[in-house]
Structure 1
Amino acid sequence: MPETWVNLAERMGSDLHVDLSGPGSRRAVLIRALRNAVREGWLTPGTLLPPYRSLAADLGLARNTVADAYAELIAEGWLTARQGSGTRVAERAAPPRPVRKPKPAPARPATPTHNLRQGAPETASFPRTAWLAAARRALIAAPDEAFGPGDPRGRIELRRALGDYLTRARGVRVDPERIVVCSGFAHALRLLFGGSPGAGAGPLRGPFAVESYGLRFHSEILEGAGVRTVPLSLDEQGARVAELAGQPRVRGVLLTPAHQFPTGGPLHPSRRASVIDWARTGDGLIIEDDYDGEFRYDRVPVGAVQGLDPERVVYLGSVSKSLSPAVRIGWMVLPRHLVDGVLAAKGGREAWVSVPDQLTLADFIASGQYDRHIRRMRQRYRRRRDQLVTALAERAPHITATGIAAGLHAVLRLPPGTEASAVKAASWQGIALDGLAAFRHPQATMPAGDGLVIGYSTPPEHAYGAAIEALLRAVPPSDAPSEGPAE
C-alpha cells in the first residue's frame, strides 16, 4: 500500500485526507475511505471529485480500481456522475438525528446597562489612526532581523523608547539593558515568582508584604507560586510601611505608591524614604506597581519610588490603562541582579510579546503620539471626575468621593454598614461596580470603611451621564440604617 494518508487538495481545491489503511483489497479500502469521508462530512454534498485517472495517479492505484470504486459508490447513491460535470458527492439527506430535549439554560443575571467597574480606559478613545500610522512607519523601518528569533528582553527600539519616556515622565532611573518587556502586570509577577506556562521558576521567594486593599488576583499569583502574603494596613498617608519592621521574615513588599489601589492617594514622602531604608537595611525588595501614574489632576506629578534606589525596586508598568488592555504590552525595570533570573523564567519565545506590536509602540512613543494621547485622555477623565463630584455635591452631599486627585477611579465613602445594600441597589439599577470589601485582603485587620469603587473611565462618553444618574439612585440616603460592616 502507498502512503497511509493522501492529500487531495491539489485536485479538489480544498484539503482532504483519505485514510487508505486497513484490511481488504485496494478497491475495498478506497470505497470504505470515500464512503467514510462523505458520512463524516469531510466530503460535502456537491463536492467535485478528481477524475478517476488523476486520483489513480495520485494514489498509485490502477485506473480500473478507482473507476470500479466510483461505479459502486454511484450505484449505492453516495456519488453522482453526469456527462460534462464530472463525479460529485450526491445531494443526499443526512441521516436523522435523535431528537433531544434541550436542557434548561442556567439562570444568568441580565447584562448590566452601565459598567462602572474600575480597571479599563474608555475603549472608544483608542487612537486608531495614530496607532495605524505608527504601525506602518515601524514596519517599513524595521530591519529584517526583527522578524526572526530575538532578544527575550524585548525589541531594543521599544526598550530605548521606554527608557527615555520613563526617565522623563516618571523619574525612573534606567538603561535599556535592565528593561524586560512582558505582556502585563500579571505576567510580570509570574516571571518574578514563577508560574508562567512552560517557563522556569522566578527569582523571588517569600513571604511578601502587600497592601491590605488591592487587586485580589495579584496576591493569588504570589500565593499560587508558594509565596505567603502579609497585609500592611492603610491610612490617609498610604501603606503603613513601618509594620515591615515587625515582620523579620518578609523578603519584600508590593506597593502602589503613586496612587494606592483602590483607596487612592500617594504614599507619603516620609514613608517612601522609610521603605527604601527598610529594603537597604534588611536586603529587601520593593515591587512598584505604577498602574496609572500618568493620570493626575489636582496635584504635582509623583515620581516613581524606583528613582530613589534602582537596585532595591522592581518597577512595573503597562499600557492597559493608558491605551488599552487589548495591547498586551508591559515592562519591568529590574535591579541588575534580577535580570538573568527573570529572563530564565521567561523561557521560550511563546511567552514573548508580538514584535510588530513592540515596534509600533516604540514608534508611538518616540513620535510623541503617546504623550499627546495621555494629555487628551487626562483632560477627558478629569471632566468625568468633575462631573461625578459635582453630581454628588448637589444631590448626595453626605457621600464623599476620595482618591480623586489622580487615576481612573474614585471611592465613594458611604455611611457605616451600607456598602452591601448599596452594591445590591446598584445591581438593581443595572450598574456593574464593586464595593471596597471586594479588594480587602483576607487577613487584613483594619477595615477601610464602607465604600463603592467607581471606575469613571470605563463607560462610553455618550452613556456616562446616564450612568451617573443611575448611580445616584443607588447610593444610600443620608438616613440609611446600618446593616453592619461589609464583608
Structure 2
Amino acid sequence: MARTAGRVEIPWIGTLDRAAGNLSRQVAQALREAVRNGDVLPGDALPSTRLLAESLQIARGTVIEAYQQLIAEGFLESRGGAGTRVAHALAEAPPASEPRAVRGRTARPVLPEPATAFAQIAQEFRPLPHVPFAISVPVGLTAPADIWRRLGNRLRAKGPGAPAGYTDPLGALPLREAIASYVRKSRSVRCEPGQVIVTSGTQQGLFLACQVLLGPRDQAWVENPAYRGVTAILESTGRRDTMVRVPVDVEGIDVEAGIRKAPHARAAFVTASHQYPLGMPMSMARRNALLAWARASHAWVVEDDYDSELRYEGYPFPSLQGLDPDRVIYLGTFSKILFPSLRLGYAIVPDDLVDAFCGARVLMDRHPPNADQHVLAAFMAEGHLERHIRKVRNVYFEHRVQLIETLETLLPKELAWIEPGDQGMHFVLWLAEGIDDRKVVDLAARAGVSVRAVSPTFAPGTARPGLILGFGGFSGAQMNVAAQRLADVIVAEAQSPGRRGAVREPSTGKVGSRRRTSCN
C-alpha cells in the first residue's frame, strides 16, 4: 500500500517563537500574513490540523484554536468533508498590503540585454490558439491517435520505451535506423544510422548547426524572407551583424547575390524543397550553384527540409543532401506531419561532424526522451508513417483547394492575393501595399482567427505585408467561417482612414498595387 508523507512543509509559517508563548496566536498571525501576501490564495486548501501540528511540532489543540479564530474572522472557511480553506470571499477584497515581491522595491531591475532579447522572442513565438488558420494543428482525420496509443501502451510499459537510465545522445538506434531508411527512400538522402542525430525538432537542429558551424565572426547566408526561428537564433547568439540576408525569387535563394554579398560565408541556411514562407522549391540550377559555391568556399549548407512530404502535384523534390552528402547538414521533423507535441526530429550530418553535433547536443539536453522514440520507430517500421502521409496529403490537398477558392471569392485581387505553390500545409496571402499585416493579425485574433504576419520574416527595410494561413486540421465549415471573418478584417483595415493610400469599395474600385515576383 502506498504511504503518504507524515509531514508537510509550510514555508510561509516561518519559525514560531516558543519563548514568547501563545503559539495559537502566532500560528493565526502567520496565516493572516500568508493570505495578505498572496502566499496562499482564496480557495486554497490548508493542511489538516493534525498534519500542521505534526509539522510545527506543537499540540493539535493549538492549531485547532488558531483555525477557529481565523474562521470567526472570515479568513478561513470550513465545510464538512472539504477541509479548511482560505475564504473565497477574500478574492473580491482589496489586498491589505502589497505582495511580498513588491514591498521594498523602488524600481524595476534593468534586465541584461540577452534577457530582453529572449523575452521578445518568447512573445513572438507564443503558440496561436488552435483555430483557423493556425499552422500544424493535426486533429480529426490527420491525427494518428488510435495507432499511436496502441503502440505506446505496448512499448512504454515493459518494452524498450520503459523508464531507463541515460541513453545515447544520438538517439535510440531503432529510430535512427528507421529514419535513415525512410529518408533514403523518400528524399534521396544518402546516409547511415550513425549519421542520424535525433533532435527535439528542426528548431533544435538549427540551433545545433549554428553552434557547431559558426565561429564568432563567421558570416552565414540566410534567405530573405526566412523562417523566423533561424534568424532569431543568430540574432540572440550575437551573430546579427554576420547574418547575410540573401534575396529569394521564383527559383529560390539567389546564389549569385549571396556570393556578391558574402563570398566567404561559412554556412548557408536554406529551405530548398519548400521555401519558408513563400512555398516555392529551389530550381536545379540554383541547387547546383549553391553546392558548387559551398565546395569552392569550404562552406556548409544547412537544408531545412520543411514540408517536403506534402507536395500535391508530382513527386517531392529530392534533397540537396543527396547531391553532396559531405557538405550538407539535413534537418527534418515529425512535428508537422504527425503532431507538434511529439517534439521529435532529426539532423543528418557528414561523418566528420557527428562527434561535434553529439557534443553540442550533450550540453543542451543530454539526449532525447526515450519512450516516444521507440513508439515512433515502431510506427515507421510497421509502415504506418507512409500510410499516414498519404492520408494527410489527400486531406490537406482538399482543404487547400477549398480555402483558396473561398478567399478568392471573398477578397478582391487588388486587395489580397495568394502566393502560388503546390505543397505544404500553409500558404501566404499577400496584402496590398500599405496594409499593416501585424495590425491585421491582432484584429483577426479578436475575431477568433489565428494568422501570422509575413513581414517579420523579411530583413529590415525589405518587408512586404502578408499573412501566413495554415489549413491542415480544420473542417470546411470552420475554415469558411474564419475566412469570412478574416476577409471582413482585411477590408475594414484597408478602408481605415489612417492607411497609406486610398482603398475604394471592393465592388466599385481598385487598389493601385502590383504583385511582385521577387523578394529583395
TM over 0.5: yes
- Report the equivalent of 1:440: 458
Output the amino acid matched with 1:179: V
CA distance, structure 2, for counterparts of residue 51 and residue 458 of structure 1:
50
How far has the Cα of 1:388 moved from its partner? 2.5
Matched, 1:239 2:270: no
Shift in Å, 1:313? 0.5
- Work out whether 1:77 is the aligned partner of 2:95: no
SS in structure 2 opposite 1:147?
Answer: coil
Following TM superposition, by how much is the alpha carbon of 1:290 offset from its aligned partner in structure 2, in angstroms?
Answer: 0.9
Partner of 2:235: 223
Q: Is the alpha carbon distance of 1:14 and 1:417 closer, same or farther for their aligned partners in structure 2, counting shifts above 3 Å?
A: same
Q: Distance in 2 between matches of 1:438 and 1:144?
A: 40
Please give the alpha-carbon distance, in whole angstroms, between the structure 2 residues aligned to 1:382 and 1:144.
Answer: 35
**Given the alignment, which residue of 203, 208, 229 partners 1:191?**
208
Q: Hey, what does 2:374 align to over in structure 1? A: 359
What does 1:182-331 align with in structure 2 at a 5 Å threshold? Answer: 182-194=199-211, 202-205=212-215, 206-227=218-239, 228-246=242-260, 247-331=262-346
- Tell me, yes or no, if structure 1 residue 156 matches structure 2 residue 170: no
* Contact 1:419/1:452 (8 A) holds in 2: no
Q: Find the aligned partners of 1:245 and 1:20 in 2 and give their Cα distance.
A: 66
Report % sequence identity.
27
Q: Secondary structure at the match of 1:254?
A: strand
Contact 2:25 2:66 (8 Å CA) reproduced: no
| Alpha carbons 2:438, 2:453 under 8 Å: kept | no
Query: Is contact 2:28-2:70 (8 Å) kept?
Result: no
| Alignment match, 2:80 | none
2:380 aligned counterpart, secondary structure: helix
* Structure 1 unaligned residues grouped into runs of 5+: 1-8, 60-65, 81-88, 104-110, 195-201
- 1:170 aligns to what? 187
How many residue pairs match? The answer is: 439
Q: Superposition pairs for residues 60-71 of structure 1, below 5 Å?
A: 69=59
Gaps of 5+ in 2: 77-89, 99-127, 495-505
SS in 1 for 2:422: coil
Q: Counterpart in 2 of 1:135?
A: 152
Matches within 5 A, 1:316-465: 316-348=331-363, 350=365, 352-392=367-407, 398=413, 400-417=417-434, 420=437, 423=440, 427=444, 430-442=448-460, 444=462, 451-457=466-472, 459-465=474-480
The corresponding residue for 1:116 is: 133
Q: Partner of 2:421: helix, strand, or coil? A: coil
Cα deviation, 1:421-450, whole Å, max 9, x if unaligned, reads 993797386543244323212265xx6x65
Q: Is contact 2:452–2:467 with CA below 8 Å preserved after alignment?
A: yes
Distance in 2 (alpha carbons) for counterparts of 1:214 and 1:293: 16
Bigger shift: 462-471 or 209-218?
462-471
Quote the residue 2:510 is aligned against: 480
Report the Cα distance in structure 2 between the residues aligned to 1:11 and 1:418, rounded to whole angstroms: 61
1:470 aligns with 2:470: no
* Aligned-partner residue type, residue 120 of structure 1: S
1:404 Cα deviation from its structure 2 partner = 2.6
CA distance in 2, matches of 1:45, 1:95: 12
In the superposition, relative to structure 1, how do residues 95 and 224 fare at CA in structure 2: closer, same or farther (>3 Å)?
A: same
- Equivalent residue letter for 1:481: V
Which range moved further: 14-23 or 334-343? 14-23
Distance of aligned partners of 1:13 and 1:397 in 2 relative to their CA distance in 1, 3 Å threshold: same
Give the C-alpha shift of residue 102 in structure 1. 13
Distance 1:465 1:51 in 2: 58
**Partner amino acid, structure 1, of 2:149:** L
Of the structure 1 ranges 261-270 and 397-406, higher mean CA displacement relative to structure 2 is found in: 397-406
Q: Given that residues 251 and 282 in structure 2 are in contact (C-alpha distance below 8 angstroms), is that contact kept between their aligned partners in structure 1?
A: yes
Q: What SS does the corresponding residue of 1:317 show, helix, strand or coil?
A: strand
Distance 1:207 1:232, change over 3 A: same
With over 3 angstroms needed to count, the CA separation of the structure-2 counterparts of 1:339 and 1:51, relative to structure 1, is closer
State the superposition RMSD in angstroms.
4.3
How far the C-alpha of 1:28 sits from its partner, in A, is 6.1
Deviation at 1:153, TM superposition (A): 0.5
After TM superposition, give the deviation of residue 378 of structure 1 in Å: 0.6
Change (3 A) 1:290 1:20: closer
Aligned residue identity for 1:180: I
Partners of 1:113 and 1:17 lie apart in 2 by 39
- Write the distance in 2 (CA, Å) between the matches of 1:232 and 1:44: 58
- Counterparts of 1:79 and 1:455, CA distance in 2: 55
- Please tell me whether the aligned partners of residues 415 and 480 of structure 1 are also in contact (alpha carbons under 8 angstroms): no
CA distance in 2, matches of 1:416, 1:37: 62
